[in-house]
Chain A
Amino acid sequence: MAEHSGPDSGKHKANHANANSAALLHGRAGAGTGAGGLSGGLSQPAGWQSLLSFTILFLAWLAGFSSRLFAVIRFESIIHEFDPWFNYRSTHHLASHGFYEFLNWFDERAWYPLGRIVGGTVYPGLMVTAGLIHWILNMLNITVHIRDVCVFLAPVFSGLTAISTFLLTRELWNQGAGLLAACFIAIVPGYISRSVAGSFDNEGIAIFALQFTYYLWVKSVKTGSVFWTICCCLSYFYMVSAWGGYVFIINLIPLHVFVLLLMQRYSRRVYIAYSTFYIVGLILSMQIPFVGFQPIRTSEHMAAAGVFALLQAYAFLQYLRDRLTKQEFQTLFFLGVSLAAGIVFLSVIYLTYTGEWYAKIHIPIIASVSEHQPTTWVSFFFDLHILVCTFPAGLWFCIKNINDERVFVALYAISAVYFAGVMVRLMLTLTPVVCMLSAIAFSNVFEHYLGDDMKRENPPVEDSSDEDDKRNPGNLIVTMLMLMLLMMFAVHCTWVTSNAYSSPSVVLASYNHDGTRNILDDFREAYYWLRQNTDEHARVMSWWDYGYQIAGMANRTTLVDNNTWNNSHIALVGKAMSSNETAAYEIMRSLDVDYVLIIFGGVIGYSGDDINKFLWMVRIAEGEHPKDIRESDYFTPQGEFRVDKAGSPTLLNCLMYKMSYYRFGEMQLDFRTPPGFDRTRNAEIGNKDIKFKHLEEAFTSEHWLVRIYKVKKLDNRETLDHKPRVTNIVPKQKTAVLDL
């Protein structure tokens, strides 16, 4: 701005006019996006300002809520994807059987024949929250189905997230930045991706709990009051009950304290806050059955304990230093102790994350999940848009004017960036801090370029009014540019939400050339068939992805599901799928399987089907049964995975292949392709003559997306068990006769 070439004084008037319009713009920006310039509003009474803040927060809530409703409007109020179906099912159990029944719930319909102790293996926060809301509404006789509570929970909580982000950013910077941050978090795709209506998952409420805990932590560090710390512990307790990501908090807060110690920023406030938080938070977190004794046993919690010990030692030394005079000895002693503690802390962290690396590399089941893949640059931009560019600026502003709480946000940003780079799903923890820091950056810029106008209206202290005037065209351009960026950000957010994150994935839609929509409801068709027309205790084998959906929609017993706690059981299912029919029949008989369900996308070109996932099944099976299953058998000698004639014979005769393509060889989809042409893999299938000996087709959905096979009972057993044949035709003489 200073470099801006100075125009001659003749332009003075025009510049003045520009300044006025900039002031006008500023007013609009304040109303629309909560620009930071508000805080400089000297002429505004405080009441008006808080009314404006309240309005902006309310609008942010409303905007966040409504932009999450695409799926409900396009489809219906339905639970999405996979995990939410389990959450919904257990919430339904909670709502219909009560809290204690839920805590003691042993689900015999999952992991047959093992079962699952649901109460002890879930983070109950989500279900309890939804159940509580449902209970309160029903107490007031407001009739709401539990499904609708579940569907709309995440959008409602996004508003609470916006408010807690506002509070946190206000503590870190100022009110204007807080309002901007609230607006950002309300619509940013990185958070929407996990919180659209219907996505009833832990993350939906956990991000609120995370932000609120951090706000209360910053507040307690600032004030050093036990009251705020206890509030922080309660919020932390809620977070622990809601999501496994609480580990992030219990590592970040100690890290903050540790860095404060290193920066010689120790104070009684920090001591009180952390000591209280660690003890009360630890005890509270251990009340969650699923967490239990982990906080004092596992490595990811050890850093917190180490920092606690260090803080006590440090405080003790401080105390001693006041009493004793041997300054040098003490400094030496302090250095020794802090070094030792630091080494312990770092090695613990190292072990923790190398442990996770180990898991990632060596357990295929974790690697097979798409959301556990490393994040690409594209998805950073896709999920955060302009914020990804502006948040380093915000970080720099924070570091430039450092204080206790800004140390915290800097650490938050750095660690979240690291984790987001490791795994796509951890993008979620990065999003709030990016919103906050970008808001600080934007707020700073606005304050600089718009705040000047305010000063000029009141007679300035400095006399160089010419210089001010010279900057004005630049001011306008910068402000316009910023507003353009924000506008494009809003457009991008809406577009991404609408196109990428608003598909229930249970119901698919395709569009014809004329824009009309076809709904492909094959999943529910098949699941509902299972629910209505199979024995209530029938056991359905499928790949684990569909376990929760089968349990939720078909209400049938499954062998494996998305709670992948037992790798060998999954490997057994993988082995059955990748063996030939005879070997698979042995396995299925030993597992009491009645039906096998597979997903086949070859008819409509659905790419997420079981054949495309098949190599993971083989790999997981190979991990447990290396003698029977070898991945290399499923490739051609050239190392390709092909389903056509050139494919490996092992693949062409394995159970999964046969079930997918049974009678598909006869089917000609259109005239340009031969019969048995797989649209997903664009190949004519290699084995068209598929016969089953032990299985029979039980159901295939309309677009062949879901195919269900029945496992036949042993032939010779059936005859032994045979009852004398009876016919159903009982003479109906008495009732059929026409009496009058």
Chain B
Amino acid sequence: MQSLIGVMLMKFVLGQVKGEEEEENTLEVRETKVKGKSGKFFTVKLPSPLVPGAKIRVSVEMVFTHVLQPYPTHITQAEKQFVVFEGNHYFYSPYPTKTQTTRVKLASRNIESYTKLGNPSRSEDMLEYGPFKDIPPYSQDTLKVHYENNSPFLTITSMTRVIEVSHWGNIAVEETVDLKHTGAVLKGPFSRYDYQRQPDSGISSVKSFKTILPAAAQDVYYRDEIGNISTSHLLILDDSVEMEIRPRFPLFGGWKTHYIIGYNLPSYEYLYNLGDQYALKMRFVDHVFDEQVTDSLTVKIILPEGAKNIHVDSPYEINRAADELHYTYLDTFGRPVIVAHKNNMVEQHIQDVVDPAAEARMKVACITEQVLTLVNKRLGLYRHFDEAVNKYKQSRDISTLNSGKKTLETEHKVLTSEIASLQSKLKTEGSDLCDKVSEIQKLDSQVKELVLKSSVEAERLVAGKLKKDTYIENEKLHSNKRQELVTKIDNILDAL
């Protein structure tokens, strides 16, 4: 059991299960309420029901924001920053806990004070409480640690991320970021002299940080209302573009800044299409700095003019606002803009959001397309075989017939099994097209029977076992029937 004390995060994010093979599977988590108890509760759905007496290992990761409070709240430039963490000694759960250990990992060794429940052991920057035995449900006991923490307490107070998709092969991303140093507030003067000459002056201030942009990012700009910010460096790595961002001035406690960062991406990496349906798969929020906290985020996705039937899938709950229209580049009726908000986000929220044109529907369309080609191919096989039969009739060479039959059998088998697998895929997608495909399969087997029958008759004819007249009559009957079946199949295919 790992009880992670995030530097400054506050919301439950995701549950993970660790199976026997240490394979990580994310579990489905939903928020619920428990009567008579305050706090947030979540229901976790296990992959399979837990039988009595069985064991399962679940690891829970929770991230909290704004939990560490600077104390003292105001410090001078020369002082170090101390913070107080308040938590719970016990694992807060509606179930009894048999045994529990709580480890607190701190940012430094310099600890002013901490609660001494059960005589915790202390080593370097780690506190270990417990093990506690047999804790009743809903136990609480305040854990409090006061220690030195000079890590940058940067918070993105608000951020607007605009993703502009162009049909000319470009995706423009622009992020407007409001940053604040939420650590202990600077008291008294800011001396540039001390800051330049003494290495530990302003130790908790933020000089610069790194933002990781996608590897394909081009034309990166970093600016604010009064122009380009000249203090930044760009490092192009194999798998990302690293940007060292230095705000115009160092950020001390309580100081704010505001900037805009933007770049272009080639759309082939994020935009997928099938026919005239397009899907955009991009991150809802991207990296700004390590262990980032975003208090409020607005994402705007500007789609090309004329985009319709817009659907959004997100990995977590977002608040969609009313769609807007955006006019640029000689637009006439405007580009649809998807607007979404989310508050209180952390680094773990960096996940993809899939955008227009429902993906499931697209998958189905993709499969039916494949089915179509396969069925047509299969019908083509029969024509090939017919040719082989005709050849046989003229040459009376049994080997051509046999080889033709063989190829038909093998290829037909392959195609039929492929179609069957597609059919099952359709079933998993929950599409009603599955039934239609099975009907095609049935009709096709009838066609095949007819084809084989006619070939057998041709054999008999060649061998002189059948009179020519009857053969022709039968053949006519067969081909009529076949024609009927093929048109039936075609009709179904057209309806797909």
Q: Are A739 and B39 in contact (CB under 8 A)?
A: yes
Let me know if B69 and A698 touch, CB within 8 A: no
Stretch of B251-259, B284-292, B350-358 at the chain-chain interface: B251-259
User: Is A738 touching B92 in the complex (CB atoms < 8 A)?
Assistant: yes
- Interface of chain B: mostly helix, strand, loop or mixed: loop
Q: How far is the CB of A535 from chain B (nearest CB, A)?
A: 12
Q: What is the distance, in angstroms, from A377's C-beta to the closest C-beta of chain B?
A: 38
Please report the number of residue pairs spanning A and B whose Cβ atoms sit closer than 8 angstroms: 129
| B370 beta carbon closer than 8 Å to chain A | no
Q: In residues 679-704 of chain A, which contact B (Cβ within 8 Å)?
A: 696-702, 704
A699–B190 touching, CB < 8 Å:
yes
Quick one: closest B residue to A695, CB to CB?
Answer: B189
Q: Are A729 and B71 in contact (CB under 8 A)?
A: yes
Query: Shortest Cβ distance from A44 into chain B, in angstroms?
Result: 40
- Contact check, B88 vs A737: say whether CB atoms are below 8 A apart: yes
**Distance (whole angstroms) from the CB of A553 to the closest CB of chain B:** 5
Q: Which of A140-167 contact B (CB under 8 A)?
A: 140-143
Min CB distance, B239 to chain A, in Å?
29
Q: Which of B39, B225, B329 contacts A142 (CB 8 A)?
A: B329
For residue A524, CB closer than 8 A to chain B, the reply is yes
On whether the beta carbons of A78 and B227 are closer than 8 Å, the reply is: yes
Give the residues from 136 to 191 in chain B that come closer than 8 angstroms, CB to CB, to chain A.
140, 142, 188-191
Which of B84, B88, B193, B229 contacts A729 (CB under 8 A)? B84
* Chain A residues closer than 8 Å to B73, beta-carbon distance: 727-728
- In Å, the complex CA distance between A666 and B231 comes to 27
Task: Give Cα A529 to B192, complex, Å.
Answer: 14
Residues of B within 8 A of A736 (CB): 64, 67, 86-88
Instruction: With a 10 A CB-CB cut-off, give which of B41, B62, B192, B228 has the most chain A CB atoms.
Output: B192
* Minimum C-beta distance from B25 to chain A (A): 18
Q: Report B-chain residues with C-beta under 8 Å of the C-beta of A731.
A: 86, 142
Q: Which of A562-598 contact B (CB under 8 A)?
A: none
A723 interface hit (Cβ, 8 Å)? no
Chain B residues with CB under 8 Å of A663's CB are: 191, 193
Name which of B3, B231, B254 has the most chain A CB atoms within 10 A of its CB: B231
Tell me how far the C-beta of A470 lies from the nearest C-beta in chain B, rounded to whole angstroms: 63
Complex Cα gap A698–B225 (Å): 22
Please determine whether B67 and A732 come into contact, CB atoms closer than 8 angstroms.
yes
B156 to chain A, nearest CB (A): 14
User: Nearest chain B CB to A700's CB is how many angstroms away?
Assistant: 4
Question: Does the CB pair A700–B142 fall under 8 Å?
Answer: no
Please tell me if the beta carbons of A76 and B84 are within 8 angstroms of each other in the complex: no
> How far, in angstroms, from A179 to B90 measured CA to CA in the complex?
89
For window 322-362 of chain B, which residues contact chain A by CB distance below 8 Å? 327-332
**Is there a chain A Cβ closer than 8 Å to B226's Cβ?**
yes
Asked if B231 contacts A521 (CB within 8 A), the reply is yes
Identify the interface centre among B193, B254, B329: most chain A CB within 10 Å of its CB: B193
Q: Is the CB of A735 within 8 A of B10?
A: yes
Cβ of B470 < 8 Å from any Cβ of A?
A: no
A519 touches B (CB below 8 Å): yes
Closest beta carbon of chain A to B383's beta carbon, Å:
56
Residues of B within 8 A of A738 (CB): 3, 62, 87-88, 91-92
Chain A hits for B38, CB < 8 A: 734
Residues of A within 8 A of B64 (CB): 735-736
Are B10 and A667 closer than 8 Å at their CB atoms? no
Chain B residue with the shortest CB-CB distance to A704: B192
Question: Does A9 have its Cβ within 8 Å of any Cβ on chain B?
Answer: no
Whole-angstrom distance between the Cβ of B29 and the nearest chain A Cβ = 10
Complex: A697 Cα to B192 Cα, angstroms: 9
Q: How far is the CB of B99 from chain A (nearest CB, A)?
A: 17
Minimal Cβ-Cβ distance residue in A for B72: A727
- Which chain B residue has the least Cβ–Cβ distance from A144? B328
B37–chain A nearest beta-carbon distance, Å: 8
Q: B325 CB to closest chain A CB, in angstroms?
A: 11
Q: Give the chain B neighbours of A729 by CB distance below 8 A.
A: 69, 71, 84
Chain B, Cβ-Cβ closest to A692? B189
Q: Report Cα–Cα, A702/B247, bound state, in Å.
A: 12
Q: Does A733 contact B (CB under 8 A)?
A: yes
B40 interfacial contact with A, CB 8 Å: yes
Q: Within 8 Å CB of B248, what residues of A?
A: 521, 524-525, 528-529
Alpha-carbon separation in the docked complex, A702 to B40 (Å)? 47
List of B residues within 8 angstroms of A737 by Cβ: 39, 87-88, 92, 140
In the complex, what residue of chain B is closest to A700 when comparing beta carbons? Answer: B192
B88: A residues at CB distance < 8 A? 736-738
CB under 8 Å from chain B, chain A span 512-564: 519, 521, 524-529, 531-533, 552-553
Chain B residues within 8 Å of A324, by CB: none
A141 touches B327 (CB 8 A): yes
Question: Are A141 and B258 in touch, CB under 8 angstroms?
Answer: no
Closest to B94 in A: A740
Task: Report the Cα distance A701→B188, complex, angstroms.
Answer: 17
- Which chain A residues border B197 with CB–CB below 8 Å? 667
From A532, A698, A729, A733, name the one whose CB has the most chain B CB atoms within 10 angstroms.
A532
Assess whether B41 is in contact with A739, with CB atoms less than 8 Å apart. Answer: yes
The reply on B433 being an interface residue by CB < 8 A is no
Encode A497-516 as 1/0 by CB contact (under 8 A) with B.
00000000001000000000
* A76-B228, A553-B226, A700-B192 known; A740-B41 Cβ under 8 A: yes
Query: Contacts A533-B255, A728-B69; is A525 near B189 (CB within 8 Å)?
Result: no
- In the complex, whether B230 has a CB less than 8 A from a CB of chain A is yes
Q: Once bound together, how far apart are the Cα atoms of A533 and B249, in whole Å?
A: 11
User: Which residues of A from 72 to 123 have beta carbons under 8 Å from B?
Assistant: 75-78
Q: Which residue of A lies closest to B85 (CB)?
A: A736
Residues of B within 8 A of A143 (CB): 327-329
Distance in angstroms between the alpha carbons of A702 and B274 in the assembled complex: 54
Q: Smallest Cβ distance from B148 to chain A, in angstroms?
A: 17
Cβ 8 A contact of B256, one of A142, A524, A533: A533
Which of A143, A527, A533, A663 has its CB near the most chain B CB atoms (within 10 A)?
A533
- CB pair B329 A507 closer than 8 Å: no
**Distance, CA A739 to CA B189, complexed state (A):** 42
B388 interface contact, C-beta 8 A = no
Q: Does B132 interact with chain A (Cβ within 8 Å)?
A: no
- Chain B residue, CB-CB nearest to A140: B330
* Chain B: minimal CB distance from A14 (Å): 60
- Check A524 against B226 for contact (C-beta < 8 Å): yes
Q: Mark A700-740, 1 if CB is under 8 A from B, else 0.
A: 11101000001000000000000000011101111111111
Alpha-carbon distance A737/B328, docked complex (angstroms): 49
User: Which residues of chain A are near B94, meaning CB under 8 Å?
Assistant: 740
Asked if B329 and A739 make an inter-chain contact with CB atoms under 8 angstroms apart, the answer reads no
Residues of chain A from 59 to 77 with CB closer than 8 A to chain B in the complex: 75-77
Q: Which residues 210-265 of B sit at the A interface, judged by CB distance below 8 A?
A: 224-231, 248-249, 254-258
Residues of A within 8 A of B331 (CB): 141
Measured in the bound complex, the distance between the Cα atoms of B191 and A345 in whole Å is: 63
Contact string against A for B residues 49-90, beta-carbon threshold 8 Å, 1 for contact and 0 otherwise: 000000000001010100101110100000000001011100
Contacts of A666 in B (CB 8 A): 193
Nearest residue, chain B, Cβ from A76 = B228
CB distance from A558 to the nearest CB of B (A): 16
Of the candidates A521, A526, A528, A666, the one having the most CB atoms from chain B within 10 angstroms of its own CB is A528
What would 6 more interface pairs be, CB under 8 Å, given A526-B249, A702-B192?
Answer: A141-B330, A528-B248, A696-B188, A697-B190, A729-B69, A740-B92
Chain A residues with CB under 8 Å of chain B are 75-78, 140-143, 507, 519, 521, 524-529, 531-533, 552-553, 663, 666-667, 696-702, 704, 710, 727-729, 731-740
B interface with A by C-beta (< 8 Å) = 3, 10, 12, 38-42, 60, 62, 64, 67, 69-71, 73, 84, 86-88, 91-94, 140, 142, 188-193, 197, 224-231, 248-249, 254-258, 327-332
Listed from nearest, the 6 A-B pairs whose CB atoms lie closest are: A700-B192, A739-B39, A143-B328, A697-B189, A519-B230, A141-B327
23 A-B residue contacts at CB 8 Å?
A78-B228, A141-B330, A519-B230, A521-B248, A524-B226, A524-B227, A528-B226, A528-B248, A529-B255, A532-B258, A552-B226, A667-B193, A667-B197, A698-B189, A699-B190, A700-B193, A729-B71, A729-B84, A734-B39, A737-B39, A738-B91, A740-B42, A740-B94
